[in-house]
C-alpha cells in the first residue's frame, strides 16, 4: 500500500534487525535511537516499512494500548520472515494472535493453570525434573552441550507434565521438537515436524476426552470442548501453543543466563555464596539478555499518538523490549549486569493483555535450573573460547545460542 511519496520518503530508512557488535548485547543502534529518534522507521526483510519503538515508557504504552492489534492477517502486520508470514495465513489463530474479546475468552480458559501460586506449587516437581536431567547429563562424556542436554529438557518436561503427555510419548515429541527448533532444519522439515505434533495432539485430546486425567488438556476437554465453548481443533491448537511457546525461550534464558554468569565470575561467586540472590539474579538475566526480543509486534487499528509521533491506521510497529530493558531513564548503569539490581521493571515478558501467560512458571524454572546447576557443578566452565560460540536469530528464532559446550 506504499504510495510513490512514501517510497521516496522511506528510501534511506535503516534495515531492521540492526547488527550487533557484541554477541550478547543488543545492537548499539538502539541506544542512539532512544536518544535521537526514539520512534523511527525501519525497513524489514520483505521490504515493508515499520515503526521501531525504543524507549521503555513508549514500548509499555504500545503494549497496553487497545488501538494496537495482534491479528496477523491484517495487511502490513510485521512478520519476522517468510515462514511466519505463511503461518499467519494458514489455520485458525490461537490466543497469542487474537484481539479482545476472543483473546480474553481463550486466554481466560488457561489463566488458572499459570498463576503465581500454581508456579510456586510446582517447585518440588520442577526440582525433581532438574535433578533428574542433571543426573543424566553427568553420565555423559565431556564436553556436553548444555543447551541440548540440560536447558531444553527442563521446560519441555515441565510442560509435558502440565499438559499430561504420557511418558512413553516423550521420545517421539522430543524428536519433533528438536527438528522444529534446530536452526539447520529446512522449512519443509520443520513444517513436517509441526504437522506430526499437531496430529499427535489431536489423538491425545481424543484420549483425554475418553479417559480424563489430572492435567490441562483433560480439564479443557471436559469443561470447554464438551460444553461447546471450544472446538476440538481449537483445543488441539491451544495445546500446541502451550507445548511450543515457551520451550526455546526458556531454554535460551537458562543457557544464556549461565553463559552471562560464567562471563561475570565475581557475580557468579557471589551467587554461589548466597543462593538467596537467585530470584533477583534471574530478573537481571531476563532484563540483560531479553531472550524474546522480536515477539512484541503490533498493527495500529486507528491513528495513535505515541511519544509525540502519530502512527497511522494500518502501520506496523515493533515495540523493542530489548531496547526498553537498556533504557538509562529507567535503569541506572543499564549496560551493567548486576544480580543485585533493584528495582528491575524489565519488559522481558512483554506488557499489557498479551504479557507472557507463563511468566511466573518460567521464572521458577530458570531459578531452579541455574541454582541447581551452579550448586552441583562448582567447576562449571565453557569448553570453547566464548568468541567461538554461534548464535541464532530471526527468522529462525528470537535470539539464542546455537549450542553451549561446557565441562565441569
Ligand atoms: C507471550 C516471553 C516462557 C507461553 C509472551 C510474550 C513475551 C514472552 C515477550 C508477549 C508477546 C507479545 O506481547 O506479543 C517469554 C519468555 C519466556 C517465556 C522470555 C521464558 C523466559 C513461556 C512459557 C510458556 C509461554 C514457558 C508456556 C508454557 C506464552 C503464551 C503467550 C506468551 C501462550 C501469549 C500470551 C497472550 O498472547 O495472551 N511470552 N515467554 N511463555 N508466552 Fe511466553
Residues with a catalytic annotation lie at 249, 292, 356, 398
Which residue would you say has higher pLDDT here, 252 or 394?
252
Q: Whose CA is nearest to atom 20 of ligand 1?
A: 250
CA distance readout (Å), 218 to 73, 133, 169, 401: 31, 27, 17, 35
Strands 297-300 and 68-69: antiparallel
pLDDT tens-digit map of 278-333? 999 999 999 999 989 999 999 999 999 999 999 999 999 999 999 999 999 999 99
Q: CB–CB of 10/2 below 8 Å?
A: yes
Residue 33 clears pLDDT 80, i.e. is over it: yes
Residue 2 clears pLDDT 60, i.e. is over it: no
pLDDT value at residue 8:
58
Does ligand 1 lie within 6 Å of residue 357's CB atom? yes
Please tell me the least confidently modeled range out of 14-28, 58-72, 284-298, 386-400.
Answer: 386-400
This model of the complex carries an ipTM of 0.99
pLDDT tens-digit map of 86-128? 888 887 899 999 999 999 999 999 999 999 999 999 999 999 9
Residue with cell 512478520: 79
Q: Whose CA is nearest to atom 18 of ligand 1?
A: 246
361 three-class SS: helix
Question: Taking the model in full, what pTM does it have?
Answer: 0.96
Average pLDDT over residues 256-269: 98
pLDDT value at residue 1:
46
Query: Burial letters for 354-392: b for 16+ Cβ neighbours within 10 Å, e otherwise?
Result: bebbbbbbbbbbbbbbbbbbbeebeebebeeeeeebeeb
Does ligand 1 lie within 6 Å of residue 241's CB atom? yes
Average pLDDT over residues 356-363: 98
Average pLDDT over residues 169-181: 87
**Minimal CA–CA distance to 130: which of 258, 2, 260, 272?**
258
Distance CA 380, CA 403 (A): 16
Q: Degrees (nearest 5) of the Cα angle 291, 136, 397?
A: 20
Does ligand 1 lie within 6 Å of residue 78's CB atom? no
Distance CA 147, CA 230 (A): 36
Amino acid at each position: 500500500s506504499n504510495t510513490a511519496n512514501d517510497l521516496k520518503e522511506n528510501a534511506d530508512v535503516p534495515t531492521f534487525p540492526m547488527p550487533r557488535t557484541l554477541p550478547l548485547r543488543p545492537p548499539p543502534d538502539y541506544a542512539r535511537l532512544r536518544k535521537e529518534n526514539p520512534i523511527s522507521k525501519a525497513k524489514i526483510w520483505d521490504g515493508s516499512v515499520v515503526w521501531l519503538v525504543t524507549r521503555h515508557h513508549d514500548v509499555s504504552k504500545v503494549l497496553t494500548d487497545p488501538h494496537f492489534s495482534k491479528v496477523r492477517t491484517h495487511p502490513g502486520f510485521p512478520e519476522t520472515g517468510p515462514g511466519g508470514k505463511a503461518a499467519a495465513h494458514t489455520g485458525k489463530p490461537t490466543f497469542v494472535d487474537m484481539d479482545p474479546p476472543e483473546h480474553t475468552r481463550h486466554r481466560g480458559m488457561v489463566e488458572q493453570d499459570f498463576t503465581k501460586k500454581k508456579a510456586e506449587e510446582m517447585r518440588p516437581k520442577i526440582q525433581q525434573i532438574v535433578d533428574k536431567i542433571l543426573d543424566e547429563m553427568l553420565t555423559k562424556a565431556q564436553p556436553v552441550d548444555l543447551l541440548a542436554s540440560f536447558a531444553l529438557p527442563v521446560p519441555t518436561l515441565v510442560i509435558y507434565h502440565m499438559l499430561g503427555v504420557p511418558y512413553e510419548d516423550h521420545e517421539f515429541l522430543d524428536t519433533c521438537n528438536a527438528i522444529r527448533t534446530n536452526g539447520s532444519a529446512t522449512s519443509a522439515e520443520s513444517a513436517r515436524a509441526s504437522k506430526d505434533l499437531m496430529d499427535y495432539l489431536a489423538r491425545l485430546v481424543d484420549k483425554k476426552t475418553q479417559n480424563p486425567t489430572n492435567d490441562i488438556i483433560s480439564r479443557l476437554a471436559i469443561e470447554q470442548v464438551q460444553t461447546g465453548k471450544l472446538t476440538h481443533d481449537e483445543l488441539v491448537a491451544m495445546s500446541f501453543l502451550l507445548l511450543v511457546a515457551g520451550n526455546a525461550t526458556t531454554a535460551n534464558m537458562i543457557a544464556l543466563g549461565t553463559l552471562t554468569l560464567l562471563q561475570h565470575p565475581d557475580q557468579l561467586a557471589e551467587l554461589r555464596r548466597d543462593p538467596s540472590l537467585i530470584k533477583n539474579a534471574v530478573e537481571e538475566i531476563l532484563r540483560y539478555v531479553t531472550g524474546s526480543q522480536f515477539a512484541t509486534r503490533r498493527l495500529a487499528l486507528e491513528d495513535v499518538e505515541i511519544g509525540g509521533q502519530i502512527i497511522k491506521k494500518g502501520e506496523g510497529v515493533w515495540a523493542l523490549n530489548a531496547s526498553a530493558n537498556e533504557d538509562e531513564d529507567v535503569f541506572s548503569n543499564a549496560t551493567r549486569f548486576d544480580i543485585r539490581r533493584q528495582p528491575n521493571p524489565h519488559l522481558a515478558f512483554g506488557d499489557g493483555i498479551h504479557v507472557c501467560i507463563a511468566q511466573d512458571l518460567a521464572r521458577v524454572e530458570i531459578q531452579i535450573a541455574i541454582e541447581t546447576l551452579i550448586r552441583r557443578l562448582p567447576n562449571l566452565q565453557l569448553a570453547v573460547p566464548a568468541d567461538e560460540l554461534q548464535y541464532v536469530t530471526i527468522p529462525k528464532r528470537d535470539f539464542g545460542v546455537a549450542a553451549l559446550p561446557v565441562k565441569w
